[in-house]
Amino acid sequence: MKPKPALTLDRVLSRFGLASRTEAREAILAGRLKVNGRVVRDPDCWVHPDKDTVHFDGRRLKRARRTYLLFYKPKGVITSHGDPDGRRTVYDCLGESGRWVAPVGRLDKDTSGLLLLSNDTEFADFVTNPESRIPKTYLVKLNGLMDRETLARLGAGVQMKRGDFARPESVRRVEDRGKYTWLEVVLTEGKNREVRRMVEAVGFKVLKLVRTRIGPLTLEGLEVGKWRELKPAEISALRKRQ
């Protein structure tokens, strides 16, 4: 069997699903880790997980059970561990179940919808890597009625501020309701605040933004603020997306 590659000590804790990279570095600097019986305070110390013996708070390191959560994030909730301004975070919603999981990608404070969380870093890297081309679908309410020409321009791709170019997989009109247009936008790139920025590039603003789907996964049957574990078949289906 091919030996596992060496990892820095902070990444070992992260890969084993026991802490985020930031928490791992803090624990290491505090002297809570031992490698082969010796306290190590260097997060960048190289370790071979299949050869070296690592203890965390006196207990030998073992992989945590892989956890994959699908969460319906409410608007106004931020995707981070704690907040200096006291805002509500996804971890307030998850309770003890969210102890070691980390968001797979991000949703900004004013965006609601489907958010994955996991302690499987390889899974997270795969889902968020643009080369995996996993589609993320959004329902978007605009601040006005969008004509056909502008819709076509948006679907063809637009130049955003700071020089980024947004190239959606698809953009379609869901409906014109009153004085507002609702769109369905599908992306695979995952640039920061991409939907909002591409809409602004064609002269509109987003009034409401909901991520409704990631690959084959949807929010069906899930209430806002609630979560569930992914089924093995769902994880496999997501990994197979190309």
Mean of the pLDDT values across residues 19-40?
89
- Per the prediction, the chain carries an average pLDDT of 89
pLDDT at 1 over 80: no
Domains and CATH numbers, the chain: 7-60 (3.10.290.10), 68-129+219-239 (3.30.70.580), 135-214 (3.30.2350.10)
Mean of the pLDDT values across residues 49-53?
83
* Predicted pLDDT of residue 242: 47
pLDDT: is 45 or 86 the higher one?
Answer: 45
Residue 42 is a catalytic residue: no
* Predicted pLDDT of residue 65: 81
If DSSP codes are grouped into helix, strand and coil, which group holds residue 93?
Answer: helix
* Predicted pLDDT of residue 231: 95
Q: Which residue in the list 44, 50, 108, 176 is annotated as catalytic?
A: 108
The phi and psi torsions of 47 (rounded to 5 degrees) equal: -135, 140
Cα(52)–Cα(65) distance, integer angstroms? 21
107-122 in b/e burial notation, b at 16+ Cβ within 10 A? beeebbbbbbbbbbbe
Name the band, by pLDDT with cuts 50, 70 and 90, for residue 12. Answer: confident
pTM of the model: 0.79
